Structure 1
């Protein structure tokens, strides 16, 4: 027993008020030590004392507040999200229909019969039925949330909304029972309108969030469902991976995914471990070497002894790190959120004081209590005080920025991408697939006998039957240069060393210099050349024909054409670039030197990448991380801003705040500039929204603002914020449509057809 940490995926959160309400509720719960709420990912991470509070009680707190706890199974969770979306759509249909009917009723009263006050009791009762039906039908869940919040002493948007809705009911009842001539229908209409508006807002948010990717599940799908377990007497049995235990032995054939973490007992092979290291060149593996579940066995058959299963396995650890880092990810406290903490109680207080004032103040000049004016004042304050413009100020600016980013092939997936990015002073870049292309390619050919094309022709002929990625690189370069080569008469692959072949009657060896030296080839005269290529971070293959050294081929991961220019832009913006990679130090230093990066961290594993990001943050830096692989995902979630290369893996993309469509690295600084501009627009919108609410509430206290007109004013305030957000974009001809295609990029699984910038920003 003791401190326990539990993470929940929560349904029903729609804005920062929801996150704050959950935090307040838990902080006021005995036994809860800490809580982190991620609105962007709808996750709550709770730390509590088992001796003082049970897990059931922890969950009940969320449920009492009106939120749902989704199933841990991601497929079931997605089904629950779809069900929530269907419920939201039904609520909106019902509430929207009532709003249309009551609006038509008001219009008919004013335009056709020329009366502002109620025309008949039947009309009043009809409006009452619409109000009660909307509030206690599709809007019942809002009442429940408001009640549970009030019960815990939490004043939030649900409390404010219901104060306005019930205030409308009260005003209508006063007209029905006490004050003839009251605009009863209009008071009931306010209850319908503000309830419908809130349902619409929550449905829009839910629609965006329901598009959550199944990337973490895709990560776990890399691990096969079954494995071939080998018994002590040599019998082979196919069993579910979940049934394997530490010490079991499994057989893995060429081309299969490694089912578990383990150690090779017998066999040699090349293994693609990019799932862990991100490096494009497979590792040579033999007895005694470790293999990682999810990696790909390429050439030989392996017998592997299981060393880790279940939650201790590599893929499960990465998935857990991603989800925990995502839930605990530090975020910016927006100016709007800080003000809204005091805004709701202030509005409620002002509304109550305004009502009391118009009951008491007229007595001072010899008049009776002005109930109608007091009711108008209180209800108008509640309507004008509802933080609609404030709530829209930030999203609208981000939608505008998201549209502009989309036109540059950049997907901005969170508010932090706009609000934190301008303050970033360290950008950490993965090497493979980020600074480099991510695929092995021939970088240099050194000829000792004949031309470079002659060396390629001999090597390509020898490697024609090989399936090794280095062989593919040699064949690709030969094809690019139009070099003719023939199939070998004889071929033998020496695992982990190279190939031996007969080409046009000549004995040809292509492979590691060390192996060729063991074969009796004298390389003493070219040691300096080999070291030069290796210093550049290249893998060297020597080409020998009939015992004579023909040439050397340096194979590496080519640097992207815009990498050096992007690093210069970072320096110019006052940002320090840092390279972090799972590759060896020599290769990392060579790449960093070529692009202009001074600080390099090499031989770093996925969990260590996350730790390095954390250290930079502890030093007081704002950190952005750029990566493309599964091994980058924990670091992407830990960073203040995670930036994924869109041509990378789904799990990296899901973990990021910004996705660069395609593989252009320059988009990092484009996103930085767009984020800075959008944040400036956000501050302008917030200033306008605060001014509207301040002036509007003050005017409403006079009792001269009709509640319906207050609703119209609230709509106009949103329109003003909208105009400020998009006027420059529309005038410049950029447009708001953000459907786009990036040539040469693979966007499948990243965005859905027809997804617009407003969806992209908040997804």
Structure 2
């Protein structure tokens, strides 16, 4: 890996490991000797194929790393070479934002599917051999020693299948934010340990029979595992924007040594002050200053500017951009963490870390349910202890805790996510972050990039007009002939168009350039000119406004072909507005969403497109940090912001926005920073997403009410609030309520759909 890639990779403060798929990584040559993994978030790392057999862990600090749920048995890093990755400084950085999210550790590591199926196998005998809340079901049976078998299976199930929830609860409590994992952990822990007490009491102590909860323990663990598995399968695996940034740079460069000779060296050996040769078509390897040569640079991938930029001696170039036709020598001014791409990557990491703090809807419900159950359970124990005895008080408390963790809650959100993700895929939407569906309601503003989102993203010929006897192809042939020897973006666009149309440029001689006006040349012994509007005015020529009005509205560059004092043709170049963009902006306004343009392109081009589309708020000539700050300012005002973009310069703002939406034809870095990907690269699909998100959230809320809402009645009854009137919640009734809520949740999720017009 090159120096930039290497330095980007080594600074893990800017890397979000939560999204990394290590399933094919070769760590066999990695030096982990100084790596501090103590606070790394491995919660979504897929280790299922990783082989650690060659890894030197002898000096690794694992003291605070929870590997309890990691399955290394099938781990294999043999497919990706990290031999050049330098992780030596990782321990010095703060990974606090990347601690385990509370979902769990093993769920995202390849053994989660196995954990569910093994837990199901362990649960089946328990379901057949133990009663449901003290009630024997018709299909259940017992035999001598069956209760011992149930105890053994339940113990294995609790520590194996329940481990992700126990680990997740530990993290949530450590972060002082109890949520779903804490609620589930409380339910299964109370069910298991009370059942263990019941087993001992019933077999070794005299007295009344004590009801156990082994049946509830088994079904709760299996259903919760199933719910999370469904949810993970529904949402595609996330990528790593930082790795994509590193991939933009070449691995080797051509350097001029002290003797002036050329030498090919790895990029990681380049230091500031070195002279590098960048030939036509090469990627610019580092930030630098041109000291020899002149060229055009395509910076669209990193700045969003669609038009190639002319660069001369003394001007700066950005690492990751693409050199045009000229060959240049640059003096290196920035490598590693001082380079432009590294700064963009830092913005992405910071934004992702902040947005990761957003709380899921189900976690909010689970948090309140946890507190309600805890207060109700402890309160019931104290009250019953005062009016009755310890066994009765203890029984009431346990019943409250078990009732408070309904099975349906584990499926309420995952089933809706699975359904909505399937519908989204059929409509050209890939959901990378399921929380996007929850957060997309009531969007106040949609910040949209111009280049590649509202426009096609390429500076090219948009139209050719003939105003005389020449055909369109003849106009193109004459213009291409005059521009054939030129080295600027307009010439490149014209020659590319001619080649695409199969038009051969006319043979031109005596070509002369007039600065700021155009150029002239001789074709077939006659003088032909290409001029801009200024040149047209000097020649005292005019063109009908209706001929060029459309080009002006879209901010196109217009060139005129002049012959014998008359305009023979017109050629327009620019970044063409997508046909569906106008309808998209109009629909946003109808939805009371304010469209805002944010682009790295120049002010003139941005305003032209904005006026054409009816966008009132325009921010042009923005760097990545400017875009990110713009999004940040909206969020600071309490507004919910969606961001649509496709370039590297959009990546930080995509990560910062409430919802980041990437155009599928954009850069991998932008795609990896987003929550949603438009696979058809059609901005109108944003409308489909917003429609689906609104209905998805409605279903989620409905399911959460069905999954947890019955606790409004069940918890007080379980606590014995109506005991003075002789009413206590029958455990069988509680079980029936839980079963019904689970069935209703499943049916309700399957009824999710979007309007026919969105399909």
- 1:720 aligned residue: 744
Q: 1:169 aligns with which of 196, 215, 225?
A: 196
Give the stretch that moved more between structures: 598-607 or 134-143: 134-143
TM-score by length of 2: 0.75
Residue by residue over 1:314-361, the C-alpha shift from the partner in whole angstroms, topping out at 9 and shown as x without a partner, is 111112211111111286556654453343243245445656777876
Give the stretch that moved more between structures: 275-284 or 305-314: 275-284
Q: 1:92 aligns with which of 109, 116, 122?
A: 116
Residue by residue over 1:450-507, the C-alpha shift from the partner in whole angstroms, topping out at 9 and shown as x without a partner, is 3452322322456689998755754676689x8x743555799999999998866767
1:234: how far off?
A: 0.8
Asked whether 1:524 is paired with 2:543, we answer no
Q: Is the 8 A contact 1:118 1:181 kept in 2?
A: no
- 2:23 aligned residue: none
Asked whether 1:237 is paired with 2:263, we answer yes
Residue by residue over 1:712-761, the C-alpha shift from the partner in whole angstroms, topping out at 9 and shown as x without a partner, is 6434322212222333649x999xxx9x9xxxxxxxxxxxxxxxxxxxxx
Residue by residue over 1:27-84, the C-alpha shift from the partner in whole angstroms, topping out at 9 and shown as x without a partner, is xxxxxxxx99999999xxxxxxxxxxxxx99x9667499899x99x99889xx99996
1:167: how far off?
A: 2.0
In the alignment, the residues of structure 2 paired with residue 560 and residue 575 of structure 1 have an alpha-carbon distance, to the nearest angstrom, of 20
Asked whether 1:127 is paired with 2:147, we answer no
Q: 2:436 aligns with which of 382, 394, 417?
A: 417
Q: Any residues of structure 2 matched to 1:581-596 within 5 Å, and which?
A: 581-596=599-614
Asked whether 1:297 is paired with 2:320, we answer no
Asked whether 1:578 is paired with 2:596, we answer yes
- 1:456 aligned residue: 476
Q: 1:272 aligns with which of 276, 298, 304?
A: 298
Asked whether 1:687 is paired with 2:695, we answer no
Q: Is the 8 A contact 1:278 1:432 kept in 2?
A: yes
Q: Any residues of structure 2 matched to 1:541-690 within 5 Å, and which?
A: 541-543=559-561, 550-690=568-708
1:554: how far off?
A: 1.6
Aligned to 1:242, the other structure's residue is in SS state helix
1:100: how far off?
A: 2.0
In the alignment, the residues of structure 1 paired with residue 317 and residue 202 of structure 2 have an alpha-carbon distance, to the nearest angstrom, of 78
Could you tell me which runs of 5 or more consecutive residues in structure 2 were left unpaired when the two chains were aligned: 1-10, 21-38, 47-59, 88-103, 721-726
Q: 2:453 aligns with which of 411, 416, 434?
A: 434
The 1:654–1:179 alpha-carbon spacing in structure 2 relative to 1, beyond 3 Å, is farther
- 2:49 aligned residue: none
The 1:270–1:571 alpha-carbon spacing in structure 2 relative to 1, beyond 3 Å, is same
In the alignment, the residues of structure 2 paired with residue 5 and residue 238 of structure 1 have an alpha-carbon distance, to the nearest angstrom, of 29
Q: Any residues of structure 2 matched to 1:481-520 within 5 Å, and which?
A: 485-486=503-504, 488-489=506-507
The 1:682–1:198 alpha-carbon spacing in structure 2 relative to 1, beyond 3 Å, is closer
In the alignment, the residues of structure 2 paired with residue 376 and residue 689 of structure 1 have an alpha-carbon distance, to the nearest angstrom, of 24
Aligned to 2:555, the other structure's residue is in SS state coil
In the alignment, the residues of structure 1 paired with residue 186 and residue 354 of structure 2 have an alpha-carbon distance, to the nearest angstrom, of 28
The total of aligned residue pairs comes to: 677
Aligned to 2:458, the other structure's residue is in SS state strand
In the alignment, the residues of structure 1 paired with residue 696 and residue 378 of structure 2 have an alpha-carbon distance, to the nearest angstrom, of 38
In the alignment, the residues of structure 1 paired with residue 709 and residue 105 of structure 2 have an alpha-carbon distance, to the nearest angstrom, of 37
Q: 2:217 aligns with which of 185, 188, 191?
A: 191
The 1:668–1:505 alpha-carbon spacing in structure 2 relative to 1, beyond 3 Å, is same
In the alignment, the residues of structure 2 paired with residue 712 and residue 585 of structure 1 have an alpha-carbon distance, to the nearest angstrom, of 65
The 1:378–1:118 alpha-carbon spacing in structure 2 relative to 1, beyond 3 Å, is farther
In the alignment, the residues of structure 2 paired with residue 111 and residue 331 of structure 1 have an alpha-carbon distance, to the nearest angstrom, of 43
1:250: how far off?
A: 0.1
Give the stretch that moved more between structures: 247-256 or 155-164: 155-164
In the alignment, the residues of structure 2 paired with residue 116 and residue 548 of structure 1 have an alpha-carbon distance, to the nearest angstrom, of 97
Q: Is the 8 A contact 2:254 2:262 kept in 1?
A: yes
TM-score by length of 1: 0.75
1:248: how far off?
A: 0.9
The 1:612–1:41 alpha-carbon spacing in structure 2 relative to 1, beyond 3 Å, is farther
The 1:491–1:682 alpha-carbon spacing in structure 2 relative to 1, beyond 3 Å, is farther
The 1:490–1:101 alpha-carbon spacing in structure 2 relative to 1, beyond 3 Å, is farther
- 1:340 aligned residue: 366
In the alignment, the residues of structure 2 paired with residue 41 and residue 136 of structure 1 have an alpha-carbon distance, to the nearest angstrom, of 22
In the alignment, the residues of structure 1 paired with residue 271 and residue 669 of structure 2 have an alpha-carbon distance, to the nearest angstrom, of 27
- 1:308 aligned residue: 334
Q: Is the 8 A contact 2:105 2:164 kept in 1?
A: no
- Across the aligned residues of Structure 1 and Structure 2, the Cα RMSD in angstroms comes to 4.9
1:287: how far off?
A: 0.9
1:640: how far off?
A: 1.8
- 1:53 aligned residue: none
Aligned to 2:610, the other structure's residue is in SS state helix
Aligned to 1:537, the other structure's residue is in SS state coil
In the alignment, the residues of structure 1 paired with residue 177 and residue 596 of structure 2 have an alpha-carbon distance, to the nearest angstrom, of 44
Residue by residue over 1:113-162, the C-alpha shift from the partner in whole angstroms, topping out at 9 and shown as x without a partner, is 97978542x11111111112222345456556657877998762323432
Aligned to 2:709, the other structure's residue is in SS state helix
1:221: how far off?
A: 0.3
Q: Is the 8 A contact 1:488 1:501 kept in 2?
A: no
Q: Is the 8 A contact 1:538 1:556 kept in 2?
A: yes
In the alignment, the residues of structure 2 paired with residue 132 and residue 337 of structure 1 have an alpha-carbon distance, to the nearest angstrom, of 27
Q: Any residues of structure 2 matched to 1:688-707 within 5 Å, and which?
A: 688-701=706-719
- 1:746 aligned residue: none
- 1:382 aligned residue: 401
Give the stretch that moved more between structures: 659-668 or 330-339: 330-339
Aligned to 2:628, the other structure's residue is in SS state helix
Give the stretch that moved more between structures: 95-104 or 425-434: 95-104
Is the strand fraction higher in 1 or 2?
Answer: 1
In the alignment, the residues of structure 1 paired with residue 331 and residue 510 of structure 2 have an alpha-carbon distance, to the nearest angstrom, of 28
Aligned to 2:710, the other structure's residue is in SS state helix
- 1:102 aligned residue: 126
Residue by residue over 1:499-554, the C-alpha shift from the partner in whole angstroms, topping out at 9 and shown as x without a partner, is 9988667676668789xx7xxx9953248889986685222344467998744412
Is the helix fraction higher in 1 or 2?
Answer: 1
Q: 1:406 aligns with which of 410, 425, 430?
A: 425
In the alignment, the residues of structure 1 paired with residue 484 and residue 745 of structure 2 have an alpha-carbon distance, to the nearest angstrom, of 64
Residue by residue over 1:86-121, the C-alpha shift from the partner in whole angstroms, topping out at 9 and shown as x without a partner, is 33344334322211232344599x99997978542x
Could you tell me which runs of 5 or more consecutive residues in structure 1 were left unpaired when the two chains were aligned: 14-34, 43-55, 364-368, 741-763
